[in-house]
Amino acid sequence: MIINAKSPQTIPASRPTEKIILGVDPGTQVAGYGIISVQGGVMKMIQYGVVQLSKYTTYQLKLQKLHETMLRLIEEHKPDEMAIEDPFFGKNVQSMLKLGRAQGVVMAAALSRGIPIVEYAPRRVKQSVTGNGNATKDQVSHMVSQLLKEDLQPQFFDATDALAIAVCHHFHENALPTVSNKKTKKGAWGAFVSENSDRIA
């Protein structure tokens, strides 16, 4: 007697979890952003662009527009994490203050939506993407194009830099720095705070 047994049902393999990373290169004249998805270790570009702020007459208005744009991008793409360029010291104090304000409103937008933020020094981003911490913007843009398999427009260096920050974050996601264990680097806000604690309320 032949018994027709049912074939075991094939259980479909679960799809790897998709992660959305928003990379930001802040500025008060031009700010760049780049959004990538990572699924199964494969990176894909979702969107990249720049926020033109030079047309606004006051820094308050520039910061408002930058904050609004970041919130819009967050609401539209629902990133899981934000990667932002780490602040660095410069000789022009006013430029440093303006950059710090821009970074602050970008971070505030992410924090208001509960999105974790990780900072990367410019040299680390270049090293991660190109293997050379002194790479030019053109070299960074070219390498990001290769990694994402996209024909990026090289004139939008602020945007390709932001994509590079997002890519750098993906490469380092298994060893994320935290506020408690992040090493103080020369040129970072952490060094400034530690050396000028009496100036921070």
Backbone region of residue 114 per phi and psi (left: phi > 0; alpha: psi in -120 to 50; beta: other values): left
Q: Is 68 a catalytic residue?
A: no
Amino acid type, 164: A
Q: Of the listed 85, 86, 119, 161, which one is catalytic?
A: 85
81, 86, 158, 161: which one is catalytic? 158
Q: Does the active-site annotation cover 151? A: no
Tell me the C-alpha to C-alpha distance, in Å, between residue 79 and each of 15, 51, 69, 71, 117. Answer: 19, 18, 14, 11, 11
- The answer to whether residue 85 is catalytic is yes
Select which of 25, 81, 86, 119 is catalytic.
25
The H-or-E segment that residue 21 falls in is: strand 18-25
Of 68, 81, 98, 97, the C-alpha closest to 35 is 81
Distance CA 18, CA 16 (A): 6
Q: Which distant-in-sequence residues (6+ apart) come within 8 Å of 187 by Cβ? A: 88, 89, 121
Specify burial of residue 166 (Cβ count, 10 A radius: 0-12, 13-18, 19+).
buried
Residues annotated catalytic, as ranges: 25, 85, 158
